[in-house]
Chain A
Amino acid sequence: QQPVQSPQAVILREGEDAVINCSSSKALYSVHWYRQKHGEAPVFLMILLKGGEQKGHEKISASFNEKKQQSSLYLTASQLSYSGTYFCGTEGHSGYALNFGKGTSLLVTP
């Protein structure tokens, strides 16, 4: 039930764009995205609910394809502060748990 994230790691130069993908084999109610910096708690970024809506948060946005049970996180014009590990969390229709992927490590260099 653990969603699959790709890529596992990515290195960017400041100002470049990146896409992180998350896919599930189960029907989903929602997809959550979190970012965790080393030694800190995961921080909530955004939630995508079923319906294919796209949400945005500054230069970070995401989409959710309900038919394919896939979500993508888009980071545009990356900043040094974007570095960290990004996790997608998927929620089934029971609402009983949020299952996280193994994470994507993102490093933005000057």
Chain B
Amino acid sequence: EAGVTQSPTHLIKTRGQQATLRCSPISGHTSVYWYQQALGLGLQFLLWYDEGEERNRGNFPPRFSGRQFPNYSSELNVNALELEDSALYLCASSPRTGGIFGSPLHFGNGTRLTVT
């Protein structure tokens, strides 16, 4: 089966611009999780979408937003980009709805966002 796919692979933006990152989950997976991986900080939880709805968000400002489409693919938008937004953004999917509850997450290769 095809894994989680993310696009673009790399994205370079200028401070103040907006960035849009895309994620296609594994076929049959309805939950999508977004994580930010900045150098030395590990994986920081951003957002969780489950069956089209935002179910939970991490400790990030509102300029980080997203949505999930009817086909369960997802989009992460980052507005008013700041230099510290430079990071690897990882998307993961899960076949389980309603919560993780011991179900493994399947990660994509990520989008490397660089803000100059």
A-side residues, CB < 8 A to B, are 2, 29-30, 32, 34, 40-44, 47, 49, 87, 89, 91, 94-103
A41 close to B109 (CB less than 8 A): yes
B105 cross-chain contacts in A, Cβ below 8 A = 32, 44, 89, 98
B-side residues, CB < 8 A to A, are 3-4, 33, 35, 40-45, 48, 55-56, 58, 90, 98-102, 104-110
Number of interchain pairs (Cβ within 8 Å): 65
B107 close to A42 (CB less than 8 A): yes
Task: Given A87-B42, A87-B43, A103-B42, answer yes or no on A98-B107 (Cβ-Cβ < 8 Å).
Answer: no
A49 cross-chain contacts in B, Cβ below 8 A = 102
Q: Which of B4, B33, B105 has the most CB of A within 10 A?
A: B105
B42 close to A101 (CB less than 8 A): yes
Query: Residue on A with the closest CB to B110?
Result: A41
B109 cross-chain contacts in A, Cβ below 8 A = 40-41
B55 close to A2 (CB less than 8 A): no
B99 close to A94 (CB less than 8 A): yes
A41 close to B107 (CB less than 8 A): yes
How many angstroms from the CA of A42 to the CA of B76 in the assembled complex? 19
CB-CB nearest 6 A-B residue pairs: A95-B99, A102-B42, A100-B43, A41-B107, A44-B104, A96-B56
